Structure 1
């Protein structure tokens, strides 16, 4: 006996409250559906329906079995729909939260290629350096740059790990000179990021594994990476930025790495999304694309 077919037949009988009506809607005969019901009851060892001149009523066992059938069949239909959706090109609106540095400074590196590959996805970007609340704000996926990811309620996928490096514009170094040691930084104009996660001190990671802490003499401080980047580019001083943010400028000579043997630790680029039984195809497509982009 086809168990799923029998469950669907019983569900239809219970809904129609008539073998004849149920048989007609299923495209079968009254006698065939009656035999199918008898076989189901025999396999369960329980009577599911009572028949009389007014039609069909469910027994107590029938009510319990109908509830179980409804739950199982709805899950089965949902799984089938999800699998079918995965075989199609991802589409629909995808709301993504991301830091300003990714949404602006890095945007030319990834957005054109993403749109070319996934023409069916409409991307709605929320540009913010604060950590958004995904479920409360209707965010499908969030990109974050952080020293630590502590939101256990979310699923997270690491996209990249990037060194925090010290950089300055050539015009600044031509005027103020190039620092040769970490101690030299105290004689320079440093640019400070004072976002909610930013420490007041710089912890320098040296090549020999040791660490050195200093408080930069910051004549300029801001709460966004994009403003910090612009200040460094126009020659205001030395800034600490992720290598991913400044790699193109370093290659082009628009920025110069200061103290190449020193980093300020690392930052993790990650994609976060709500815990669900099934990840939307558009969410999976975006995360897979960004992982490939950073790799």
Structure 2
């Protein structure tokens, strides 16, 4: 027996004041209504309705059960309506895990417009470079910048592919000059990130050259690397997406623009695609549109 259905049938019998009227409201047969009530009474072990050929009335147990049914069914319907409305109008708390570079250097470009478009979504952003356990740590979605992603149980949507480029501040270039080839990088101050000891530069024809990084500045945070580059500390490597605004405004300039240090992939990761919450769906779509437009 479907007890929830039987409860709805019982409620309808009471409110329609009869079996035939209830069957008409429910678009079913008199016998189906009667069978649901009989099964419900059998499971409960009590008579809910006294009935004969002319009239029906609730028993004392039936009155109590009717009151409980109304409360339970109204709560269930309200919960279903709330979920449906959330799917139609994205809302609620959206927990995002992001690498530091996005949270500190790129967030200001996309977050205000996203919140303007979806004012009912509250963003909770956690910035750390190691990949978190989305399910165990309670995140809805993670943004990641890396090489091609290995297989995992997570759903991965590729947002963008951005080349890794060399840049420096105009003040640095004014003092030290522009390197005219890869070999001349050895005569410059190089700023490195994480465990980098070499740069492998790839030319437009696909040729590659390796530069040993005798770094004059090394850091494990991309924000410090960015600050040092802006201050004229030397030549550093960033994804084009990260420094695009700096290049457009002249705060940084490309070094050896005919070369890149490979590519980095921007991904949105989430636990599953089936019945994806609207708040996650619109965020991932928004990020795909944002980064796609910057390619």
TM-score range with shorter-chain normalisation?
0.7 to 0.9
Residue 180 of structure 1 aligns with which residue? 180
Q: 1:219-275 deviations in whole A, cap 9, x for unaligned?
A: 211111111111111111110101011111111111110000000011111111111
In structure 2, list runs of 5 or more residues that go unmatched: 24-29, 48-77
**CA–CA distance in 1 between the matches of 2:4 and 2:228?**
71
**CA–CA distance in 1 between the matches of 2:17 and 2:32?**
11
Residue 45 of structure 1 aligns with which residue? none
The answer to whether the 8 Å contact 2:164/2:237 transfers is yes
**CA–CA distance in 1 between the matches of 2:173 and 2:107?**
28
Please say if 1:35 is aligned against 2:31: yes
Please say if 1:208 is aligned against 2:205: yes
**CA–CA distance in 2 between the matches of 1:128 and 1:49?**
55
Equivalent residues in 2 for 1:157-176, closer than 5 Å: 157-176=157-176
**CA–CA distance in 1 between the matches of 2:273 and 2:175?**
55
Taking structure 1 as reference, are residues 292 and 38 closer, same or farther at Cα in structure 2, changes over 3 Å only? same
**Could you say what secondary structure the match of 1:236 adopts?**
coil
Q: CA deviation at 1:98?
A: 1.0
Taking structure 1 as reference, are residues 151 and 94 closer, same or farther at Cα in structure 2, changes over 3 Å only? farther
RMSD in angstroms over aligned alpha carbons? 3.3
The answer to whether the 8 Å contact 2:19/2:33 transfers is no
In the alignment of these two chains, the number of paired residues is 257
Q: 1:25-70 deviations in whole A, cap 9, x for unaligned?
A: 5746346766116789xxxxxxx7997xx658xxxxxxxxxxxxxx
Residue 281 of structure 1 aligns with which residue? 278
Please say if 1:123 is aligned against 2:119: no
Equivalent residues in 2 for 1:134-283, closer than 5 Å: 134-150=134-150, 152-194=152-194, 199-275=196-272, 277-283=274-280
Residue 94 of structure 2 aligns with which residue? 94
Taking structure 1 as reference, are residues 176 and 23 closer, same or farther at Cα in structure 2, changes over 3 Å only? closer
In structure 1, list runs of 5 or more residues that go unmatched: 1-5, 14-18, 41-47, 57-76
